[in-house]
Structure 1
């Protein structure tokens, strides 16, 4: 679930670590008291391996990049928002009252500036209604349930929301009722239907945010999901999936959780891929450290998912994991969502920019090519391959090994590459030199040599479509790189140990 009204306004200037530690301790106490955390007992090893890529019917031009913007929580200037790289902003939060009206915004002028900026870049702005609790920690679901159960209060509530939409010029509404229960399911449906009937004739959008699930068979699903009726779901233009704050995994937002959640909605609720938006956190747990502050401590923290901060540890999603999740969304869903976009950085470690770069890299590929795409990440820097540049595309061979176009890979690390041809001009071997290490790879053979020492690998280099491909692991390990492969996002990671 999303963090709700916990932060006081936090500036962007550098914070002392002891101050961070104190703030984080206070936040954790608050969160433990007022926030229920989803417990998923069926998210075991089998779920982590549930990473098969499926063909999505998503159209690339419809891919959503959504950022929550809780302006009253932060003092980040509106001018810093990278609205040109986002399709939607969810402005939070419009707080309902028991009489069906809504509390006025604390910073109305900021909202006007935000909407003006976003509209200038073609970005839509929705108002997010509700959240889990008020700033003082009071849960909002009893207020929602009271309003939903009364015809008059419900009408007042819908009219109040519509007045705000018209006053500020919002492009739509996100109903963030956290969370519907079986007992309130019918009232939730009535509220959503009435909102939809008001919004749709005006050309305004309607969305919601719902929690993740670890269920792999559609059973034992939390009532916050199972209690949402098909009629209710049909009213939403899209659903943001809050795949974070999990309590039964070392990381509160693991990749497998994204996969099981998307699979539940597509397989067991028949929601089309384009209506599903994968939520991704920009904060850590249990420390509640923001991504931007972790990177401020050490830039390398942008590329990992764990930091041993004090007094509480930080598990989160770094750039590499978030890139993999973005690819999962491109293959299986209809977009990604960040909570909260103000927790991002504004340099080359920016998550918003990484997502934008990823979309641009995939921009000229069709859906099958996106599904089969293999990322090669060298020392945390992605090496982009495009079929139109004529340099070849990485692929997985019949031995389940990743083969990569030789020249682009090796020249990216500064190696000198040469080829030996037979009498007919056909390439027989590839030679590469880097910092005193010489590698010779024979095409079509498992034999290769490193500094004249003969070795054997478990696959072979090949020539395909006129390009020479070499096994990434054997070659890069010889040059001193540690190699890992993530099947979830189809990513090869090479980290220099020099």
Structure 2
């Protein structure tokens, strides 16, 4: 991979008044998080809504036969509880239902977007489910379109989805549903065998914002060395949050339509030599946790129980800890704050967390909310 030197240009905010006297207002900030619906110990009632503006229900899946969201009775009850609980909270938050997820079949979405008929079925079903269960919007998490054609088809889906949303809102006299999408950290996939790029023009015209997933740069698929899996900067490559976010803006997606993803979990490795323990240190296998992953609350517990050494790395803007041969790379309150300052300097809309229930006593969520206000 070619190294990349990022030049960060601070956004220039230009206010102009048109002849009628109106001033163009910036869209409200997004402080969001995805709620894993399979969490048995973290119900919607446990969410501190003072820290967020939007909560995503994760996930619903379309049928691979009908392309509709076929909601069972038990899921319907869960959806209704999710929206009613969060709308009744003080303060209330906006709710969006996210469709897909990392474990969903990307080929299914490729089939759905491949022709107008299947796109229409999917769009109508998604909107009907959102309205029936009281959601404020819809989010698509397709990981990921595999080739240029699928990217073109995705752009067509977004265009038709926006048209449908406007038509429905006009006919029902209701506020339009929000429409967002979880996307790759970078606007293009230049490191894969098949180069492809997101449909920027369609996204800019059709979506409210994109959720850039700025994490999982490193993991158990490469056990040879430790790594900062959500590094803001990478001195050796373009696989970094700074490069990815700037690529979206450079490509033509307005900064106020880009939301930065933050991980509430760490990636782990087993060190080859406990005395060699920095980022990039030789490793032999994935470390503690399921497939080398620990939630932030588990990281906090591990550090305390094992007397781990905790290090903030300014070069990558990340944190890591180690005890014996166990090594964990993650974000804490300090690295998260620096990332948020970067996002604000770039003129971004806000941030989101994956996943809501992974925090430790709201430690990072509280710091993020404070940092964005102060920013």
Shared fold (TM-score, shorter chain, > 0.5): yes
TM-score interval, normalised by the smaller of the two chains: 0.7 to 0.9
**Aligned mate of 2:185, from 212, 220, 224:** 212
**Aligned mate of 1:112, from 75, 80, 89:** 80
**1:320 paired to 2:334:** yes
SS in structure 2 opposite 1:255? coil
Aligned to 2:164: 198
Structure-1 separation of matches of 2:196 and 2:310: 32
Alpha-carbon spacing, 1:344–1:219, altered in 2? closer, same or farther (3 Å):
closer
TM-superposed CA distance for 1:235, in Å, is: 0.7
**1:335 paired to 2:350:** yes
- State TM-score, norm by structure 2: 0.73
Aligned to 1:351: 364
Alpha-carbon spacing, 1:110–1:159, altered in 2? closer, same or farther (3 Å):
same
TM-superposed CA distance for 1:221, in Å, is: 6.5
SS in structure 2 opposite 1:110? helix
TM-superposed CA distance for 1:234, in Å, is: 2.0
**Aligned mate of 2:301, from 296, 303, 319:** 296
**Aligned mate of 2:94, from 105, 108, 124:** 124
SS in structure 1 opposite 2:135? coil
Aligned to 1:54: 10
Contact 1:64/1:334 (CA < 8 Å) preserved in 2? yes
Structure-2 separation of matches of 1:204 and 1:289: 35
SS in structure 1 opposite 2:262? strand
Structure-2 separation of matches of 1:95 and 1:245: 23
Contact 1:171/1:205 (CA < 8 Å) preserved in 2? yes
**Paired residues, what number?**
307
Aligned to 1:102: 69
Q: Which has the higher contact order (CA 8 A, sep 6+)?
A: 2
Structure-2 separation of matches of 1:206 and 1:192: 9
SS in structure 2 opposite 1:298? helix
SS in structure 1 opposite 2:138? strand
Contact 2:27/2:256 (CA < 8 Å) preserved in 1? no
CA RMSD of aligned residues (A): 2.9
Gaps of 5+ in 1: 1-40, 135-139, 363-498
Alpha-carbon spacing, 1:309–1:282, altered in 2? closer, same or farther (3 Å):
farther
**1:261 paired to 2:257:** no
Contact 1:294/1:301 (CA < 8 Å) preserved in 2? no
Structure-2 separation of matches of 1:284 and 1:128: 23
Aligned to 1:284: 266
**Aligned mate of 1:162, from 90, 112, 127:** 127
Structure-2 separation of matches of 1:153 and 1:343: 36
Alpha-carbon spacing, 1:234–1:166, altered in 2? closer, same or farther (3 Å):
same
TM-superposed CA distance for 1:294, in Å, is: 1.1
SS in structure 1 opposite 2:127? helix
Deviations 1:16-61 (CA, angstroms, capped at 9, x unpaired):
xxxxxxxxxxxxxxxxxxxxxxxxx24x4x54xx364512549777
Deviations 1:382-418 (CA, angstroms, capped at 9, x unpaired):
xxxxxxxxxxxxxxxxxxxxxxxxxxxxxxxxxxxxx
Gaps of 5+ in 2: 15-24, 170-175, 234-239, 269-291, 313-318
- State TM-score, norm by structure 1: 0.56
TM-superposed CA distance for 1:125, in Å, is: 0.8
TM-superposed CA distance for 1:145, in Å, is: 1.0
Structure-2 separation of matches of 1:57 and 1:289: 40
Structure-1 separation of matches of 2:320 and 2:246: 26
Larger Rg: 1
